[in-house]
Structures are given as C-alpha cells and as structure tokens.
Amino acid sequence: MNLDNSLHLDGARAACEVSTNVELYRDRLVHLGFDPAGTDCFVRWLSATGGVRRTHANFARHLEEMLLQSARRARCRGRTRWRSS
C-alpha cells in the first residue's frame, strides 16, 4: 500500500478515509486535518452534500500532489516566485 482513499456516506455525514504506509504522507494528512483512525489509516468527516462524491473524486485525483506540496516537495501549479526589483 502506498496511498489509498475512499468515501463512505453515513446519513448527513461523509467519511473520507485515506490509508498510507508512507511516513511523510501520514504526517501531512494530520497537518491537513485528518484524524488517525488506526494503523496507517486517517479519516476526515465532511457534510454529505449533493456534491460530496464529485468533491471526493477531485480530491482523490490530486491527493498525492497535495501531500507533496504540503511537505514542500513539489511546487504548486501555476505559482511563480515574485521577485522584487
């Protein structure tokens, strides 16, 4: 396992679960507001609004990139450094 995620609906709430055995990712998940939920598993509760599945699909597509950016191991797309003259 490197990085897995899933969405579970529970009435008005949705649990976004992420599993990883990568220490850097585990640290970044906590930093991003996920709670530890067992060995190598993290969860973040969301409101189960009508767009939660679409939101999760977008999150899943970009998860690894977000974690690496959070750890400053990857640059944010479209961001440039401004230089003062």
| Burial (CB count <10 Å: 0-12, 13-18, 19+), residue 4 | middle
Q: Are 18 and 42 in contact (CB under 8 A)?
A: yes
Q: What's the whole-number mean pLDDT along residues 14-36?
A: 95
pLDDT, tens only, 75-85 = 666 655 555 54
Question: Would you say residue 45 has pLDDT above 90?
Answer: yes
- Of residues 7 and 79, more confidently modeled: 7
The alpha helices in 1-74, defined as continuous H runs, are 23-31, 52-70
Residue 28 placed within a domain: yes
pLDDT (0 to 100) of residue 20: 96
Residue 60 placed within a domain: yes
pLDDT (0 to 100) of residue 27: 93
Total domains in the fold of the chain: 1
Give this prediction's pTM: 0.80
Residue 77 placed within a domain: no
Residue 84 placed within a domain: no
Boundaries of domain holding 23: 4-70
